[in-house]
Structure 1
């Protein structure tokens, strides 16, 4: 019997590509073979230059790409768009992929299998939006699984989406029919119907969500990058849900990070110079764009705190008319374009994490044992905030004023409240201990992962 061979297919967003690549490394460490499929555009324009410096890929002209020191091979297919097309329109990218890839994927699978007939692809692993590959694999007799990049609870919202429409709680465009909070399933926190993960999306995108949830039923497993203890009620919803995370990295300064963006590691040395639990860490992930006035208000808030801060400001994070206000000094802080977040959140100098509440960031914060200041913007971030503030009780929410801004005064007040709350800090450490136990040698997530690998053989 050959070893398990996974064909991993992420939707081309950093929040999908990065965690699935991390999981690919986990699978490789468990003796599996991985073929990782990128779109040609992402690989050439975005990912290849970064892998050159970060993962040190070895390129062979006219052949596939292997990640050095691992059992991972990178292959590509076109997304159907031209190089000059705007790929910030995710719906356009998705529709183009769905038109282009299904006809090309069987030949790619055939070619990959021909290179190693003893270890043919035994399982197709996709992130959401790429469920068409599971249907295709099913027709070819290949097992399939979903790798969810959100919380299990957010995934559960998708499970109930058709019922929510049938019960008249939301309309066919995903909009709530009236203001209310509902409990999707016993034990889950009550969710404001205006804050479902699909809030703000177009009708066409919402229709895709409905179709995708049906397609994903082809998969036997829906792998969740979480532990059962963090959101236990979600795992009673479907036997498909399987917690196998979170993925931890061994921090070795001689080894590259799995991040796809160039990290500024000078901030780690800077953190070494700061007192224990003194630094306010601010990062809003890879997509959030701050409106000009809000960007300036945040900058002035960091000055007002009179505490050391580490602020991640991507080149595309603030609008073109946004800039640091003249009154901003920033003398107590350090600003970087991208940072090694897992290592930062495990640094003893970090006091709290100001975050957009993306699921990857939340997991990294929980594993670091740091309390949160929650600043959700869209999609599943509001549900994640609900868990942080109301269920786990390890954070506070930043609230907007009458001008729809989070003011510098609000930020200062909540930072002071958070850092003065010893019980919340101790709860954060408790959740950290529980999470790390689950990914330990005898932990439940580890056992689930081994079971999944054995299933894929």
Structure 2
């Protein structure tokens, strides 16, 4: 049988690109040829982030791009406008790309793996008679909710006695968690260069002493909220590693309270982007103040790290509920009458989280379950092998 050639296409957001790239790395390691399609805008960001990453292996993954329909300077964070432009422009560009690949000297595309939010990709694959897979990078609970919408409309609510929602769509294959720790090379999916100096800084900190703060790629804090968080970290008297993207706030200068950086210099480190999976695996990390994106949730859980939950939008609120109410490995914040999470609230919840060893114990138990699932003989491992056989068939 000729070599299989996978075309993988994520939704153009950091939290969607990374997990599909992890799956692509897994497939490439098994000998599949993979063409990974980013938008032109994100392709440039990825290549710039890779400029200093000479040790990344891409022997079996081809990084290519197609336009997303927006002008270079238009705001890609306006998701409605971005999605409309993508649906208008990208189907035709994708079809042209596949035709170009199939007419070349290499292996033709045999399977398309597309983000489940972009149904138009699956329509292109169906039109071209190519086997297709929808990839869901969110929590299983989110997918169950989506699949249950007709039932929710009809009955109002689904209770705990209902059959598993996945029986509504038996072709769903749970294969996660997809983690960089399962391979040697770094990922070719990040939009910002990773500041690796923070790992050396973590090496200098005591075990279970550092607060790790990261809000993903979309969260934007107003100036008041940003400064409340900054002051809370100062009040904690604990070491902290804080990921502050260039666009974390709408303001680009004088972000911190006056004199703040000098006051916390001996125990606080702020970086533009961190190698998060390596950070969370570091023994110095005590807890994770997170926006509760699914990638961050999985990365924290699989390292046994308890959470302080700060969701921003979309499925992050559902993930927060699982972290705090179902798994009980983290705590929620309460906002004041002005919608602000105050420095006092942050400090109190931090003390509550780290003062109760049960949070860490429950997180460690989930870590064991996740590792068992993906290792040889585990349920996710078995499902992934079945998926591979399906692609090859």
TM norm structure 2: 0.92
| Aligned-residue offset at 1:242 | 1.2
Secondary structure (helix, strand or coil) at the match of 2:383 reads helix
Check if 1:10 corresponds to 2:6.
no
2:174 pairs with 240, 243, 254, which one?
A: 243
Check if 1:183 corresponds to 2:158.
yes
| Aligned-residue offset at 1:70 | 2.5
2:123 pairs with 127, 135, 138, which one?
A: 135
Check if 1:427 corresponds to 2:362.
yes
Partner of 1:361: 296
Secondary structure (helix, strand or coil) at the match of 1:115 reads coil
CA distance in 1, matches of 2:273, 2:384: 30
1:369-384 mapped onto 2 (5 Å cutoff): 369-384=304-319
For the Cα contact (< 8 Å) 2:68–2:90, is it kept in 1?
yes
Range with bigger deviation, 432-441 or 46-55: 46-55
CA distance in 1, matches of 2:210, 2:189: 23
CA distance in 2, matches of 1:237, 1:387: 22
For the Cα contact (< 8 Å) 2:308–2:331, is it kept in 1?
yes
2:100 pairs with 92, 111, 131, which one?
A: 111
Distance 1:124 1:259, change over 3 A: closer
The Cα offsets for residues 392-435 of structure 1, whole Å up to 9 and x where unpaired, read as: 11111111122211111111111111111112211111110110
1:16-35 mapped onto 2 (5 Å cutoff): 16-35=16-35
The Cα offsets for residues 164-187 of structure 1, whole Å up to 9 and x where unpaired, read as: 4456x5xxxxxxxxxxxx436646
Partner of 1:39: 39
1:292-307 mapped onto 2 (5 Å cutoff): 292-307=223-238
Check if 1:330 corresponds to 2:264.
yes
For the Cα contact (< 8 Å) 2:21–2:189, is it kept in 1?
no
1:270-285 mapped onto 2 (5 Å cutoff): 270-285=201-216
Secondary structure (helix, strand or coil) at the match of 2:277 reads helix
| Aligned-residue offset at 1:102 | 1.8
CA distance in 1, matches of 2:105, 2:177: 31
CA distance in 2, matches of 1:17, 1:441: 26
Secondary structure (helix, strand or coil) at the match of 2:99 reads helix
1:418 pairs with 353, 357, 361, which one?
A: 353
Distance 1:145 1:382, change over 3 A: same
The Cα offsets for residues 315-360 of structure 1, whole Å up to 9 and x where unpaired, read as: 1001217611126322321111110110111111111100010000
| Aligned-residue offset at 1:236 | 4.3
| Aligned-residue offset at 1:267 | 1.1
For the Cα contact (< 8 Å) 1:4–1:453, is it kept in 2?
no
The Cα offsets for residues 92-150 of structure 1, whole Å up to 9 and x where unpaired, read as: 12111111122232332122123356x42121111133211111211222111111121
Query: How many positions carry a matched residue from both structures?
Result: 387
Check if 1:385 corresponds to 2:320.
yes
The Cα offsets for residues 72-100 of structure 1, whole Å up to 9 and x where unpaired, read as: 11222222222233323222121111111
CA distance in 2, matches of 1:129, 1:54: 30
Distance 1:377 1:69, change over 3 A: closer
CA distance in 2, matches of 1:55, 1:439: 29
Check if 1:264 corresponds to 2:198.
no
Distance 1:128 1:72, change over 3 A: same
| Aligned-residue offset at 1:258 | 4.2
For the Cα contact (< 8 Å) 2:7–2:36, is it kept in 1?
yes
CA distance in 2, matches of 1:417, 1:275: 20
Distance 1:397 1:55, change over 3 A: farther
For the Cα contact (< 8 Å) 1:298–1:407, is it kept in 2?
yes
TM norm structure 1: 0.80
Secondary structure (helix, strand or coil) at the match of 1:298 reads helix
State the Cα RMSD in Å. 2.2
For the Cα contact (< 8 Å) 1:152–1:234, is it kept in 2?
no
2:287 pairs with 329, 343, 352, which one?
A: 352
Partner of 1:404: 339
For the Cα contact (< 8 Å) 1:11–1:129, is it kept in 2?
yes
| Aligned-residue offset at 1:10 | 1.1
Secondary structure (helix, strand or coil) at the match of 1:241 reads coil
Distance 1:258 1:350, change over 3 A: farther
Check if 1:50 corresponds to 2:21.
no
Partner of 1:198: none
Partner of 2:76: 87
Secondary structure (helix, strand or coil) at the match of 1:49 reads helix
Distance 1:272 1:237, change over 3 A: farther
CA distance in 2, matches of 1:96, 1:55: 34
Distance 1:303 1:446, change over 3 A: same
CA distance in 1, matches of 2:245, 2:181: 26
5+ long unaligned stretches in structure 1? 57-66, 170-181, 189-232
